[in-house]
């Protein structure tokens, strides 16, 4: 990977990691379901007027949009409103990797490998450490919501597995359209028209910037650039860099919001990240070692 492409990959990972702080700022001015509604509305409009719909069946576009919009982001925003800090959220949400493996075993008949089991045990140990330190930055409700969000993210990944190689930018734009109706319905039901109107009218320029960043920076640029890199480099070169997301997330939360990073939190983060590293990096490392021995 050339230095310019490496810089592009790092910029995407940086955006995805620091985005948890942006979510926290946005939630200071908007209720969670309205925030999610606006985020997906601006991820779809006006872009779908210019970006062609990918060759994916409508039901798969709808399924992904609902799973990602309602299942992942609505729950993530709800949890981050008051029940989990941005740094911890950026870390715990990564357990979607393990949910994805489990769902692949059930739905696709994939077998669990020894290294995957080791990675899972390391991550579970990290989650146990996190769950044993419930305080003002993490509640039982917050941890449960983030784990549920991770599960629905994994379900969305299973949909992606069935669509093959498509234009991921167009896929994100068109699937975002299907997230809007259920999110709006939830906002009207649980937050109410009065709160919606008041929040929209009183939202500051900074809050609207957070919404736009969610839609354009996080979704359109982030996923578009990531897909562009995947089209030009082996997945084994690009995907391990996503392991830096919680590093940037926890660092940005500490610097911007003053989130404390005690030893237990750093230790838990190290365990979860080590689990992810084992699962993502070990197969590539083993292949490289086999090739080196053969040579």
- Residue identified by tokens 């509640």 is 139
**d(C-alpha 54, C-alpha 59), whole Å:** 13
pLDDT of res. 295: 61
Q: Residue 174 in contact with residue 53, Cβ under 8 Å?
A: yes
pLDDT in tens, 43-54: 998 899 989 998
Tokens of 210: 């957070």
How far from 50 is each of 47, 69, 103, 247, CA to CA, in Å? Answer: 5, 22, 35, 35
Mean pLDDT of 222-245: 67
Mean pLDDT of 259-279: 78
Share of the chain above pLDDT 70, in %: 87
Does the CA dihedral 109-246-153-234 come out positive or negative? negative
- pLDDT band of residue 31 (cuts 50, 70, 90) is very high
Q: What are φ and ψ of residue 84, in 5° steps?
A: -160, 145
Q: What are φ and ψ of residue 2, in 5° steps?
A: -70, 160
CA atoms in the 13 A half-sphere facing the CB of 63:
15
Tokens of 63: 């399924």
HEC string of 125-164 equals: HHHHHHHCCCECCECHHHHHHHHHHHHHHHHHHHHHHHHC
pLDDT in tens, 19-28: 999 999 999 9
**d(C-alpha 7, C-alpha 4), whole Å:** 5
pLDDT in tens, 56-114: 999 999 999 999 899 999 999 999 998 888 888 888 887 877 787 778 777 766 666 77
Alpha-helix runs per DSSP H in the chain: 3-27, 32-44, 58-66, 75-82, 86-92, 96-108, 114-131, 140-163, 168-186, 192-202, 205-212, 222-230, 235-238, 245-257, 263-294
pLDDT of res. 152: 92
pLDDT in tens, 158-194: 887 788 777 878 888 999 999 999 999 999 999 999 9
């Amino acid at each position: 990977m050339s230095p310019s492409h490496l810089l592009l990959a790092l910029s995407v990972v940086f955006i995805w990691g620091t985005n948890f702080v942006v979510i926290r700022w946005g939630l200071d001015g908007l209720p969670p379901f309205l925030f999610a509604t606006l985020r997906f509305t601006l991820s779809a409009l006006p872009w779908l007027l210019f970006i062609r719909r990918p060759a994916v069946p409508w039901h798969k576009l709808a399924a992904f949009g609902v799973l990602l919009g309602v299942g992942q982001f609505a729950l993530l925003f709800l949890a981050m409103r008051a029940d989990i800090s941005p740094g911890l959220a950026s870390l715990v949400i990564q357990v979607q990797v393990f949910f994805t493996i489990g769902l692949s075993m059930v739905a696709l008949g994939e077998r669990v490998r020894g290294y995957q089991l080791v990675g899972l045990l390391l991550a579970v140990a990290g989650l146990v450490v996190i769950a044993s330190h419930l305080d003002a930055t993490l509640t039982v409700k917050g941890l449960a919501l983030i784990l549920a969000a991770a599960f629905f993210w994994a379900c969305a990944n299973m949909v992606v597995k069935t669509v093959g190689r498509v234009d991921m930018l167009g896929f994100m734009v068109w699937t975002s359209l299907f997230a809007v109706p259920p999110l709006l319905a939830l906002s009207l039901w649980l937050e109410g028209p009065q709160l919606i109107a008041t929040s929209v009218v009183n939202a500051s320029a900074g809050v609207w910037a957070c919404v736009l960043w969610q839609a354009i920076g996080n979704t359109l640029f982030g996923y578009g650039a990531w897909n562009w890199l995947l089209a030009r480099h082996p997945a084994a070169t690009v995907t391990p860099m996503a392991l830096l997301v919680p590093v940037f997330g926890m660092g940005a939360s500490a610097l911007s919001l003053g989130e404390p990073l005690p030893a237990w939190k750093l230790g838990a983060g190290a365990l979860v990240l080590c689990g992810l590293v084992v699962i993502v990096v070990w197969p590539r490392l083993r292949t490289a070692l086999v090739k080196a021995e053969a040579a």
